[in-house]
Amino acid sequence: MRDVKAWSLLLVLLLLPRAAGADGRTIDWVDLVPESERATYDPAPPPPVHDYLSGDSAALASMQVMKGDVNEALDGQQVRLPGYVVPLELDEEGRVTEFFLVPYFGACIHVPPPPPNQMVYVVMDRGIDLGSMYSAYWISGTMATRRRDTSMGAAAYTLAGTRAEEYKF
Amino acid sequence: MNRLLSLALHSLWSRRVTALLTVFAIAVSVALLLGVEKLRTGAREGFAATVSGTDLIVGPRSGPLNLVLYSIFQIGEPTASVSWASFELVERHPDVAWAVPISLGDSHRGFRVMGTSRDYFEHFRYGRRVPLAFDAGQPFEDVHDAVVGATVAASLGYRVGDSIELSHGLGEVSFAPHDDHPFRIVGILAPTGTPVDRLVLVSLQAVSAIHEGWEGGARSLAAPPDVDHAHDPSPPAKITAFLVGMKSRPAVLQMQRALNEYAAEPLTAALPGVALSELWRMIGVADRALRAVAACVVLAGLAGMVATLLTGLNERRREMAVLRAVGAGPGHVFTLLVLESTLLALLGAMAGALLASGLLAAAAPWVEHQLGLSLSPGLPGAYDLAIGAAVVAAGFVAGTIPAWRAYRNSLADGLSMKV
């Protein structure tokens, strides 16, 4: 009986650091801004726009403020970052494989996108089942300071995602 | 071990009737479990495959579920209509790849009539983006042309060239036929396993035309129907809903948001995938219940096996005693009985898998025709193997009960005079 306890304790000890380490360092959106710009960092989203049906589909993307630099220290880092998902590519089963991770809901959809250094272009190794558009997700993976420009907006970061987990309070 | 296995086999063979019945009971329960799972996945896939490639379904303000039910599944009635102006606004948007209007409200002998444009045949997709195909004929050209789904054609015995009448309302029997506007069948769709099989498709102009002179809700006696007028290509003022394909994924969400907030007309834009999975979550309770019942039947089968082995022990006291007398230890007896029950479970699981695939293969055409479910026979998947392994493991565990009883019986037990 004591053996069993000892073994399970060892097992727990072996597994714990792995579970924590595999997901990388938890970062916040302010960490995506270089130190020098953090004094002026303002996370408030811009007001929503309501003229999509008029036909000017590039309106939202053109309202993106192209200011701000990237935080070079994040290049190549294993990170875990929470945010909202703007689906860009789906696989055959309807799972999201490529998306923008953004700090506020509705970015690129009815609210202008945040500056490029507040947008992360995520490519997942496996598609994720989006339970709801309104849910936020923790995305883990390897960060790169590689820029991606799309018709929806520009992202200053690219993340090779390995894990997605619904954000729960 | 080998010798014990052969002993177990021979012992089982000597009691082959009971053994066969036990195997049969387990086989039936395993077949039920596997069959339920196959039906479940078939239903789920068929359900999700009802519509694909359509990014948005737009209708009057209601719930997305309601909208998907009446526009795709032909269940329930539309609550209101959408103005043609809203349809045109969306259709002309630069991000929109295609938009197909649909108009419901008439029926033909219990099958719903859907007015749409020729684009429906080009853009509607089901399953893995499979387009609609024709078994015979072609899409409608003229106002009085109709295309029927595979089920409609099969159950009413229609062929290309037949003439049909549509009636007002969605009931099976109608006493208000639009017999002043006969339609000619120009195409029969290949079976899809989706509600499209149960549709009669006509042009939007045809829907307007058959209601010509029916504006008051019944045939007007004052204005005799003017069939030529029906060739007027002007669009209808109102449609029931429309399907939209967008050029890019993010545009889908932009369009959905914009339509749901559209001030000029109260609209609902639904993402079919989201609405379907919501619907499945609601009705998915039933299939979980089925699964639980099937699992209980397997438990009953295994309990039956244990009972049979336990009763058998009494009759086999002498057999055990003889084994012990010729040198088998209590451990050998234990192993023998566990081997027996594991063998029974293994045979039962294999027979069950065979039974399930045989029954499914035999029933597949009927199920496909009646329920629109496609049951892919295929090789046993990971789930089937897991079930088989679980049953064998359960047989092993269950076998320890009689084995333990036999293990504890003394050498003298079967040899004493009371037998």
pLDDT in tens, B332-355: 888 888 888 898 899 999 999 899
The C-alpha atoms of residue B116 and residue B120 are separated, in whole angstroms, by 7
Region A11-22: mean pLDDT is 50
Instruction: Please determine, for residue A64, whether its predicted confidence score (pLDDT) is greater than 70.
Output: yes
pLDDT of A20 higher than 60? no
Banded model confidence at residue B226, pLDDT cuts 50, 70, 90 = very low
Contact A87 B253 (CB under 8 A): yes
- Contact residues of A toward B, CB < 8 A: 50, 52-53, 55, 57, 60, 86-90, 92, 94, 106, 108-110, 132-133, 151-152
Average pLDDT over every residue of A25-29:
89
From CA B201, how far away is CA B192, in angstroms rounded?
Answer: 15
| Partner A, chain B 261-300, Cβ-Cβ below 8 Å | 261-262, 273-274
Closest C-alpha among A117, A102, A107, A101 to residue A35:
A117
Model confidence at B360, pLDDT cuts 50, 70, 90, reads confident
The H or E element containing residue B57 is: strand B56-60
Q: Is the pLDDT of residue B368 over 80?
A: no
CA distance A88 to chain B (A): 5
CB contact under 8 A, B93 and A94: no
Is the pLDDT at B216 greater than 80? The verdict is no
Is the predicted pLDDT of residue B57 greater than 90, yes or no?
Answer: yes
For an interface test with B, which of A62, A96, A109, A122 has the most B Cβ atoms less than 10 Å from its Cβ? A109
* pLDDT reported for residue B146: 92
CA distance B146 to B184: 6
Residue B251 to residue A57, Cβ atoms within 8 A: yes
**Whole-number pLDDT of residue B417:** 58
How many Å lie between the alpha carbon of A122 and the closest alpha carbon of chain B?
14
Task: Calculate how close chain A gets to B95, using CA atoms only, in Å.
Answer: 7
Comparing alpha-carbon positions, the chain A residue that sits nearest to B272 is A94
Which range has the worst mean pLDDT, A30-39, A124-133, B129-138? A124-133
φ, ψ of residue B200 to 5 degrees: the values are -110, 120
Specify the pLDDT at position B419: 46
Helical segments of A23-157, H only: 59-62
For chain A, domain boundaries:
25-166
- Tokens 């790849």 -> residue: B97
Across A5-23, average pLDDT: 52
pLDDT at B325 over 90: no
Sort out which chain B residues have CB atoms less than 8 A from A62's CB and list them: none
- Position with higher pLDDT, A47 vs A86: A86
- Residue B91, chain A, CB below 8 Å: the answer is no
Query: What's the pLDDT at A19?
Result: 47
**pLDDT over 80 at B380, yes or no:** no
How many angstroms away from the CA of A35 is the closest CA of chain B?
Answer: 32
Q: What is the rounded average pLDDT of the residues B358-365?
A: 83
The number of CA neighbours under 13 Å toward the Cβ of B245 is 14
The answer to whether the complex's ipTM is over 0.90 is no
Confidence (pLDDT) at B244: 94
| pLDDT at residue A47, as a whole number | 80
d(CA B144, CA B202): 8
Summarised one tens digit per residue, pLDDT across range B105-158 is 888 888 889 999 999 999 998 877 888 989 888 999 888 899 999 989 988 899
Contacts of B262 in chain A (CB under 8 A): 53
Name the B residues in 313-352 with CB < 8 Å from any A CB. Answer: none
Q: Do B254 and A151 touch (CB under 8 A)?
A: no
Q: Which chain A residue lies closest to B278 (C-alpha atoms)?
A: A131
pLDDT for the residue numbered B223: 45
Q: Is the pLDDT of residue A60 over 80?
A: no
Which span out of A1-5, B62-66, B173-177 was modeled with the highest average pLDDT?
Answer: B62-66
Percent of chain B predicted with pLDDT > 70: 85
**Bridge partner list, A101:** A85, A120
In the predicted model, what is the mean pLDDT of residues B259-288?
Answer: 84
CATH number of A25-166: 2.40.50.870
A102, β-bridge pairs: A84
pLDDT on residue B219 = 54
Residue type at B313 in one-letter notation: L
The answer on pLDDT for B243 being more than 90 is yes
Q: Are B47 and B284 in contact (CB under 8 A)?
A: no
Residue bearing the bigger pLDDT, A143 or B77: A143
In whole angstroms, give the CA distance from residue B50 to residue B201: 17
CB within 8 Å: A87 and B249: yes
For every residue of B102-160, DSSP letters joined together read EEEEEEETTEEEEEE-THHHHH-EETTTEEP-EEEE----STTEEEE-HHHHHHHT--T
Per-residue pLDDT band at B318 (split at 50, 70, 90): confident
Q: Name the residue with higher pLDDT: B234 or A130.
A: A130
Q: Say whether pLDDT at B170 is over 70.
A: no
pLDDT, residue B229, reads 47
Q: Which residues contact B232 (CB under 8 A, 6 or more apart)?
A: B205
Residue of A nearest to B271 (CA): A133
The answer to whether B182 faces chain A, any CB pair under 8 Å, is no
Q: How far apart are CA B262 and CA A53, in angstroms?
A: 8
* Separation of alpha carbons B253 and A84, rounded Å: 13
Secondary structure E strands in B271-400: none
Of B77, B35, B30, B18, the C-alpha closest to B297 is: B30
CA of B215 to nearest chain A CA: how many angstroms apart?
Answer: 33
Contact A109 B254 (CB under 8 A): yes
B93 touches chain A (CB under 8 A): yes
**Chain A residues touching B93 at Cβ < 8 A:** 53, 55, 57
- The pLDDT of B360-387, averaged and rounded, is 73
- Our CA-based measurement puts residue B193 at a distance from the nearest CA of chain A, in whole angstroms, of 19
Which residue among A53, A109, A133 sits closest to B89, beta carbon to beta carbon?
A53
pLDDT value at B410 more than 80: no
CA separation for the pair B280, B156 (Å, rounded): 31
